[in-house]
Amino acid sequence: MLINILTEADFELLGKFLMALIIAFVIILTLVFIALIRFMKKEDFRYPNLFLALVQVLYNPLTALADLFNIEPDVIDRIFLKLNNSVTYNDFAATDLSDRIILLPQCMRNVDCPAKLNPLDGFHCKACKKCQIGSIKSLCDDLDMKLFIVPGGSFAKRILKIHRPKAVIGVACFNELYEGLLNASLFKIPSQGVNLINDGCVATQLDYNQLLDVVLAGVDDVRKLKIYEAFECHYTQS
């Protein structure tokens, strides 16, 4: 056996090699973490594709490192969202509106929501005007864009697998967005994420401005302005 062949000196050399690997990994992890934190503050990255890949590969240790230094809980998820939206934006904006879908979490529904769950495509909004979903559904109908209200991440993944859209907009809390956008990348679907502005998993809400910024990506300014005004949102022409 190999263990019987190795001498004490070999084990010592192997131990030093493993220790060197661990130290190198910690140094690289720390440098990546510092670079990501600087990006979060300045929102300026020269190599977004590289750092997006690094976050995907090092997600768990980076999250653990953030916890170790008592940095805000969702910082890595926030950084991932910004990087993903930056990297995929051009491909996303190049798609037709009718080829995009929006995935909304069921937690945006009002507690008295009359919609029932369909096992194939989620909740069907009744436009009762008790939450934001009715307004978003009306916008999607006008834009010929499909809307799905899903009860969870695995359901959302199934929607992507069945419908195979050319682009997807995911709305969720930060940690759920990480999983959802990662699934979209596995299906090679350009994705944009919009985070919820309140936690609690009950009657959650989003920022209409953030949603419109991605829903209307690639749309001409005149049409954009009308829709922003309808939602009483501010639009700065590019």
Domains in the chain, CATH or no CATH each: 2-82 (no CATH), 95-230 (3.40.50)
What local confidence, expressed as pLDDT, does residue 44 receive? 66
What local confidence, expressed as pLDDT, does residue 114 receive? 93
* Nearest CA among 151, 162, 156 for reference residue 191: 156
pLDDT in tens, 15-48: 788 888 888 888 888 888 888 877 777 766 678 8
Locate 228 and state its tokens: 């922003």
What local confidence, expressed as pLDDT, does residue 234 receive? 84
Range list of β-strands (E), 44-183: 100-105, 117-118, 122-123, 146-150, 167-172
Helical (H) or strand (E) element with 230: helix 221-230
Contact 108, 207 (CB under 8 A): no
pTM greater than the 0.75 cutoff: yes
Q: Which residue bears the tokens 């907009």? A: 169
What local confidence, expressed as pLDDT, does residue 98 receive? 95
Partners of residue 149 on adjacent β-strands: 104, 123
Locate 179 and state its tokens: 């999983």
Contact 105, 200 (CB under 8 A): no
> What is d(CA 116, CA 113) in angstroms, rounded to the nearest whole number?
8
Q: pLDDT tens per residue, the chain (238 residues)?
A: 455 676 777 667 887 888 888 888 888 888 888 888 777 777 666 788 888 998 999 999 999 988 888 888 789 999 999 999 999 999 999 999 999 999 999 999 999 999 999 988 999 999 998 999 999 999 999 999 999 999 988 999 999 999 999 999 999 999 899 999 999 999 999 999 999 998 778 889 999 999 999 999 999 999 999 999 999 888 877 6
- The 3-state secondary structure of 67-91 reads HHCCCCCCHHHHHHHHHHHHHHHHH
> What is d(CA 77, CA 176) in angstroms, rounded to the nearest whole number?
9
Contact 106, 122 (CB under 8 A): yes
The size of the chain, in residues, is 238
Parallel, antiparallel or unpaired: strands 117-118 and 122-123: antiparallel
Helical (H) or strand (E) element with 194: strand 191-195
